[in-house]
Structures are given as structure tokens and as C-alpha cells.
């Protein structure tokens, strides 16, 4: 397993490119986000997605969300972007808000766990965004830990948890931890909060004009 040290404040383009090459080859790479470390694979490759499930010991009935490098990368992944989604993207991307939308037929079915929906966000962590950009496509973004175990906030913790099952770990130092990304389904009105997280629900409701709902 390769360990690539990257300073989030001054990312080394060569190290990012090396991690991107591993991802494009079907590898699985752990990387830092604005909350925890995540398991990244090319979300367009079914075999790579299946590896992420196996490494985590994750039930195939549980969906996996994605990170993209820019909101312009969203349309190929979803059927439509409702007005509520646009409002929240403008307000909170890049950041820890995952929008759940109707998945396009191009999305690997295992990512949706049969729901026909996919969660996507643009991360505010420089390394996460650069990796998605290097891949030139969506990156899986499930937490880098065994299912049911605590999330990891350091590369060392990821290595201890997942051992040699990974192709590489991008060591970007410690991450803040705390709450994960807020998860909101905007496929219907009013949107449904599926998981409370780093973006306060009150702010979302205020922006959408939902009052105390």
C-alpha cells in the first residue's frame, strides 16, 4: 500500500496525479475530507465500487454517496436538479452538504442500493476536490472505516482500520471529525433531511422558506 503525503494548503500536483492514476486504474484510495477520511474509487467502474463495499464490509443495500470537483460535473449523474437543490448548492457548495437526487441511468446501480437516487456533494477540502478533478469524474465518498466502526480522522487510523486492503492512502493530516455531511433528499417537496450533520438544518429550512418544518 502506498502512502502519499499531501499538504492541503499547498497540494503537490505530482502526488495528486499519482493518486488519480491509481483511481483511474480501478484502485481504491483513502483521502481526507472536511469531516473524516473517505474511501475513494472511480464511481463509473462497477468493479471498483464493489471493492469499496468489500473493503468496508458494507451491506449492498446501503447506498454510497459521491464527491465531484465542481457543480458542473453534476448533470451527467442525475435526471434533474430541482429548484431546492440549486438553492442549496449555491449556498453550501463546496461544503459538507450531500444532496440526494434521482440518479441518471449512467450511475452504477450498486451506488444507489436500488433506490434510484444518488447522493452528491462538492467537498470544501482541497485534496478531495483535486482528486475528483484528477479523476475527471465522480469519486466515491463513504467513510474510510469498517462498517459499524468509528470514522477515521487521520491516515494512521485508516491504516490501522483497513490495513493492506487499500491501494493507497493520501495523508493530508488530521481532519476535524465531528459531524459528517448533512444529507438531504431534494427529489420531492418539501425536501427530507435524511441525516443531520455539519450544515445546520435550521439554515437549510430558512433558505428554503420552510420555517420550523
Characterise 144 by phi-psi region: left (phi > 0), alpha (psi -120 to 50), beta (else): beta
Instruction: Spell out the domains of the chain, with CATH numbers in brackets.
Output: 2-75+108-180 (3.90.870.10)
3-state helix, strand, coil in the chain (%, to 5): 35, 20, 45
The count of residues in the chain is 213
- For the entire predicted model, the pTM comes to 0.93
pLDDT (tens digit per residue) in 21-48? 999 999 999 999 999 999 999 999 999 9
Contact criterion met (CB below 8 Å) for 124 and 182: no
pLDDT (tens digit per residue) in 81-104? 999 999 999 999 999 999 999 999
Other Cβ atoms within 10 Å of 59 Cβ, number: 9
Cα(121)–Cα(79) distance, integer angstroms: 16
Cα(56)–Cα(165) distance, integer angstroms: 10
Amino acid at each position: 500500500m502506498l502512502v502519499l503525503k499531501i499538504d492541503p494548503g499547498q497540494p503537490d500536483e505530482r502526488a495528486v496525479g499519482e493518486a488519480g492514476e491509481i483511481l483511474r486504474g480501478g484502485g481504491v484510495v483513502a483521502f481526507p475530507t472536511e469531516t473524516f477520511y473517505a474511501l475513494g474509487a472511480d464511481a463509473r467502474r462497477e468493479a471498483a465500487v464493489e471493492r469499496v463495499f468489500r473493503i468496508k464490509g458494507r451491506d449492498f443495500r446501503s447506498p454510497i454517496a459521491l464527491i465531484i470537483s465542481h457543480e458542473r460535473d453534476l448533470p451527467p449523474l442525475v435526471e434533474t436538479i430541482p429548484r431546492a437543490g440549486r438553492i442549496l448548492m449555491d449556498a453550501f457548495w463546496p461544503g459538507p452538504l450531500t444532496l440526494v437526487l434521482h440518479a441518471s441511468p449512467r450511475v452504477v446501480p450498486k451506488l444507489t442500493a436500488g433506490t434510484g437516487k444518488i447522493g452528491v456533494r462538492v467537498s470544501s477540502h482541497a485534496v478531495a476536490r483535486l482528486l475528483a478533478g484528477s479523476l475527471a469524474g465522480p469519486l466515491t465518498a463513504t467513510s474510510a472505516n469498517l462498517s459499524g466502526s468509528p470514522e477515521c480522522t487521520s491516515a494512521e487510523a485508516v491504516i490501522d482500520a483497513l490495513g493492506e486492503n487499500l491501494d493507497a492512502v493520501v495523508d493530508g493530516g488530521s481532519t476535524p471529525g465531528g459531524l459528517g455531511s448533512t444529507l438531504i433528499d431534494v427529489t420531492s417537496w418539501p425536501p427530507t433531511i435524511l441525516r443531520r450533520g455539519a450544515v445546520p438544518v435550521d439554515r437549510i429550512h430558512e433558505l428554503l422558506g420552510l420555517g420550523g418544518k
